[in-house]
Structure 1
Amino acid sequence: MVFGKRKSPPVAAFSVPVPRDTIADPNDADLELIATIVDFVNYLFTDGLYRQEELPPHLVQLYHADFYVAQINNGGHSQFVHNCGTRWQMIFANAEAGLAAMGATGQANLMRELTVWTAANPDKASAQTGFKGGRDPALDILDEAFNRQQVESPVAPRAATWIRSWSGLRLVEPAELRKAWNECARANARRLHRLSETRVGAFQQVLSDDVHLAIGMAVDAANETLFEGRNRETIEVDGRHLEAWIVQTSFGLRGAVCDSSGVRLYALQLGGEGVTWKAAALIGFAGTTDIDQMLSFAEGEPLAMAADLALSRVRPDFTGCIIQPCEPVDGIPNPIFKIVAGDEIFMMTKKDAMYVLAGQRPGEIYDPISLAEIEVHKQGLRDN
């Protein structure tokens, strides 16, 4: 066996779309041009599912240089260190490289000083918050030096001039910019595979959360969709103070009270003395028997993988999908799961040894998926 350096991933080859007027008529367009590039890189990360090493270096360097400047302007070097977290070495290196490339020499030197300080003071660096009590005096000194540099030679004009010098810019009309971004995002050959990985992970997180599943059934009984995230608070229900989960649904904040009988979902209004929220009306309920059946089913079935495989066949491009258990339906023996993909809602259930997906339109039923197909899909995600 021959060992060598790890092979670097190929760098994406696409032109960078920019609004035509920020190049052709650059007067007062510097900030717009910089913001466009930053938003574009964010889009490549979130929708294109690119990894940093797969993007042209100058894009990432500009992105992190802008992040540095924005953080210092907001909360100083202390906040910047805090918000970089464990990725500080990579972000610092990119920010310094970007500042140097655009000719912001003074700011690049301060970035280098910050790198040296952070490496030499790991305990102090981890204690930074950007707020009083979590700010090191050495970083306050860097803040003052940064402000002086910005007065003498601000970053923005240099950044915009640097961007305009890049080869491979593609000038587009503002109305066509999002379409051009989509083309770049979908040029990522690994995008659909990573999209499946992301969906499976998100689905699995929900389906393995007993509280989320139970509340989801009560939310479905209210004909609403449960979004992720919850916090526990005391709410007033009929004059009593009860512990509840405050959850976000498609219709706003709701209070879910869990007890031995099941889950009761309440619409909320602002509370009075001692509580933030007061129950306005009971809008959904899921009983213990139905909840127990749902939990037992979810524990033994490849639901996350089945839902992703179904979506990868009918709506392969959708991100940010939600899966939610539904209340039982007469005549359907197994639990039903609602899958929200964009503006569409699908229903999935198991029939015999197959999973079946149905859409909202009459007769919109897709080819069933076997357990063997689900296993092949699972193996494919694991192998790649």
Structure 2
Amino acid sequence: SDHTAYFVRLPTQPIAAKERKMVSITDRNAIVVDESAVDSTDPDNDIVQANIDFLNDLLAQYIRFDEMSQEALRSYEVDYYLTQMNNGGFPQFVLNSRWHGDSVRLIREGLAAIGAERHLALFEEGVRLVASLGEARLKNFLATTAHDYGKSAERAALEAIDDRFFALDQTENLRSLNRAWLRAHPALAPASAERMAAEVRRRGEQLPDRAARIAAAEAAAPRYIKLIRALVAEAGQRLDRVTAGDPTREFAGAPTIAWYFLTDQGLFHMVDAGGKAIMFRGRSTTDRVCEIDAP
């Protein structure tokens, strides 16, 4: 019984965790998360989502990827990959990510960092699938409209890893691995929501070329972003972020893309069709919030 008592009294936390060097949230390489999320297993409020939220807040302040923690971005991009795969498989990931070199690199590095070796091998197979399309076919696929998406030969080719991805994620779960990696990361800097918000503002305000960045971003925004901003303003709401494009939505009997976004009043989506941009509540196809002309 003495042995039992002795083992029960062993610390449940590794010593290293107690001796974690405090990282300041003002450090650009810090992984800043809401302290309430560190131990949560709720996917809407866990450490992975908390990291995503902070980085999205930085993006909203016109801070660039190369000015953020690369480790935080590795987690962010791995979860983006997972979300896109769950939403519409590898073709949707390729389409929505625009097969951006930074995304591909960060996902590779992130999968390796969190220990998702089999996922990394499968992702590399996906990379080879994209390469096998060739530049012209990839460009063609990236220009696919919602109307053509279903019958795209490129989409059919890129789907080759989907089933294995979903089977693999049952045993090598990306969200769990990502969560564990962030929790143990030496650069982790948990903070209160108030301190995080102040830090986001500080980083945004100290950009020397802030005005130029804002002007460039607004000018370069794609049509769907401009329409979403206009709809949110029309509805008297505040845009938080655009979350995903769903190419499987139908509207007025024809396929289109639904663009999902979050405002201060929750989840909505926008359909751009027939010269109108229409804002719908949540995933509803009938609950219209407002519409604007979109010639």
Give the 3 Å change call, closer, same or farther, for CA 178–82 of structure 1 in structure 2: farther
Query: Does residue 1:149 correspond to 2:163, yes or no?
Result: no
Unaligned runs of 5+ in 1: 1-10, 206-227, 231-246, 254-274, 277-384
SS of equivalent residue, structure 1 residue 136: helix
Judging changes above 3 Å, is the alpha-carbon distance between structure 1 residues 202 and 54 closer, same or farther for their aligned structure 2 residues? closer
CA positional deviation for 1:250:
5.4
Matched, 1:179 2:195: yes
Aligned to 2:110: 98
Answer yes or no: is 1:19 the counterpart of 2:42.
no
- 1:185–1:252: structure 2 CA closer, same or farther, 3 Å change rule? closer
1:35 aligned to 25, 49, 52, which one?
A: 49
Task: Summarize the Cα distance change of 1:100–1:12 in structure 2 as closer, same or farther, 3 Å threshold.
Answer: same
Q: Report the Cα offset of residue 152 of structure 1.
A: 1.8
Aligned residue in 1 for 2:139: 126
Distance change >3 Å, CA 111–CA 197, structure 1 → 2: same
Q: Is the 8 A contact 1:31 1:156 kept in 2?
A: no
Query: Bigger relative contact order, structure 1 or 2, given CA contacts below 8 A and separation 6+?
Result: 2
More strand by percentage: 1
Provide the rounded CA distance (Å) in 1 between the counterparts of 2:65 and 2:156.
Answer: 33
Tell whether the 8 Å contact from 1:81 to 1:125 is kept in structure 2 after alignment.
Answer: no
Q: CA deviation at 1:77?
A: 0.7
In the alignment, the residues of structure 2 paired with residue 71 and residue 29 of structure 1 have an alpha-carbon distance, to the nearest angstrom, of 15
How far apart in 1 are the matches of 2:170 and 2:218? 49
* Structure 1 residue 54: Cα displacement: 1.9
- Counterpart of 2:257 in structure 1 is none
Aligned CA distance change for structure 1 residues 116 and 189 (closer, same or farther; 3 Å)? farther
- 2:46 aligned counterpart, secondary structure: helix
1-structure distance, mates of 2:67, 2:33:
20
Given that 2:77 and 2:103 are in contact with CA atoms closer than 8 Å, whether structure 1 keeps it comes out as: yes
Matched pairs, number? 201
> 1:61 matched to which residue of 2?
74
Secondary structure of the residue that 2:159 maps to in structure 1? helix
Structure 1 runs (4+) greater than 6 angstroms displaced = 202-205
Post-superposition CA distance 1:115-147 (Å, at most 9, x none): 222233223323435841125333222101101
Task: For 1:119 and 1:165, locate their aligned partners in 2 and report how far apart those are by CA, in whole Å.
Answer: 35
Taking structure 1 as reference, are residues 185 and 12 closer, same or farther at Cα in structure 2, changes over 3 Å only?
Answer: farther
Q: Trace 1:327-338 onto structure 2 (pairs within 5 A).
A: none
How far residue 30 of structure 1 moved from its aligned partner, in angstroms, is 8.5
Q: Amino acid of the residue matched to residue 22 of structure 1?
A: A
Q: Which of 1 and 2 has greater Rg? A: 1
* Separation of aligned partners in 2, 1:249 and 1:19: 27
Change (3 A) 1:185 1:15: farther
Quick one: percent identity of the two aligned structures? Answer: 21
* Structure 1 residue 78 displacement after superposition: 0.6
**Pairing 1:357-376 to 2, within 5 Å after superposition:** none
Question: Is the 2:30–2:69 contact (alpha carbons within 8 Å) kept by the matching residues of 1?
Answer: no
Counterpart secondary structure, 2:53? helix
Residue segments in structure 2 that go unaligned for 5+ positions in a row = 1-25, 221-225, 237-274, 277-295
Give the structure-2-normalised TM-score: 0.57
Equivalent position of 1:83 in the other structure? 96
Change (3 A) 1:184 1:167: farther
Higher helix share: 2
Report the AA paired with residue 151 of structure 1: Q
Q: Which of the numbers 70, 83, 89 marks the counterpart of 2:83?
A: 70
User: 2:120 maps to what in 1?
Assistant: 108
**What is the one-letter code of the residue matched to 2:37?**
T
